[in-house]
Amino acid sequence: MLRELSVAHQSWPLAAPFRISRGVKHSAEVIAVEINQGGICGRGESVPYARYGETVDSVLRQIRLVAKAIEAGSSRAELAQLLPAGAARNAVDCALWDLGARLAGTSVWSMLHRAQPQALTTALTVSLDTPERMGAAAAKIASAGLIKVKVDAVAPATQIRAVRQAAPGARLIVDPNESWTIDLLRRIEPLLVELDVALVEQPLPATDDGDLEGFSSTVPICADESCHVAADLPRLQGRYQVVNIKLDKTGGLTEALSLLAAARTGGFRIMVGCMISSSLSIAPAFLVAQEAEFVDLDGPLWFKADHRGGVQSHDGVLQPVAPGFWGQAEAIARAAVSGHAS
């Protein structure tokens, strides 16, 4: 049976500006894909990212160029030959997973022989600002189990210290977003140890990965911009101890699962992250995050309003999306709701 694919750009206002070393966001610009077959609809979402040469228009164009192949029945495996890893493939891949589960009358996690996703602890992010404002922001979420601190190369020590003082009990991830040098990393490492930082995420530009050769860090270092797909792992050995799996980098759930398996085999610890996105992006990432040591899926929590049935958070404990929201056939979702109510 032929499918029908539709794709659209959506803009979601944020409740507060989201700042990192590369710039500031006031809204989330996402690409939403729907694939309909026989009255059943599968959905997926992605976030075009300028760091990887993507724009809203370029991702829309990529998807529209392969729409006929998808409508003719291309599989997820064939999709990997049609589109490179990135936002365009992510939205389509996740929509195909959702559609496949609904058509089969099952769930994506059952298809993968995994347990139904359970609540997990996500990092809550303190975005880049003055140390005083970062400390104030951290104080509001001090009861969270995990806090991610966005820093730059201008005043990282005072930024991190302000957050630690405001949230003394939380585990901390420090994320410079490629803004540091190896010399700065060496100088600041004693402070990271002093403040009990659990992880440093992508401190150097991806082009400078070689500078990490021979650097024995007390605090684990995570590859984010440096790690997109499983094929990236060999060159990361000896440089990073953790990899951050994001579906917008892998090109969807299919490659994310391959990266997860390969990273474990390669001895890497696992982080699962996201862009600033809605719960439609988070739902498939939630499956991978069940097997991660570090989880950073707070993207929708920055929204003024998310999808109905999206993820919910209390002190950083993130509940899965509602039954039937993504990746689950309607009959199973209704049964789940009924069983919960009874």
* SS3 letters across the chain: CCCEEEEEEEEEEEEEEEEECCEEEEEEEEEEEEEEECCEEEEEEECCCHHHCCCHHHHHHHHHHHHHHHHCCCCHHHHHHHCCCCHHHHHHHHHHHHHHHHHHCCEHHHHCCCCCCCCEECCEEECCCCHHHHHHHHHHCCCCCEEEEECCCCCHHHHHHHHHHHCCCCEEEEECCCCCCHHHHHHHHHHHHHCCEEEEECCCCHHHHHHHCCCCCCCCEEECCCCCCHHHHHHHCCCCCEEEECHHHHCCHHHHHHHHHHHHHCCCEEEECCCCCCHHHHHHHHHHHCCCCEECCCHHHHECCCCCCCCEEECCEEECCCCCCCCECHHHHHHHHHHHHC
Question: Which position among 25, 140, 150, 304 bears the catalytic label?
Answer: 150
What is the rounded CA–CA span in Å between residue 296 and residue 274? Answer: 7
What is the rounded CA–CA span in Å between residue 294 and residue 51? Answer: 23
304 is catalytic: no
What is the rounded CA–CA span in Å between residue 280 and residue 284? Answer: 8
Question: Which position among 68, 140, 148, 246 bears the catalytic label?
Answer: 246
68 is catalytic: no
Let me know the angle formed at the C-alpha of 229 by 269 and 60, rounded to the nearest 5 degrees: 130
Q: Which residues are catalytic?
A: 150, 246
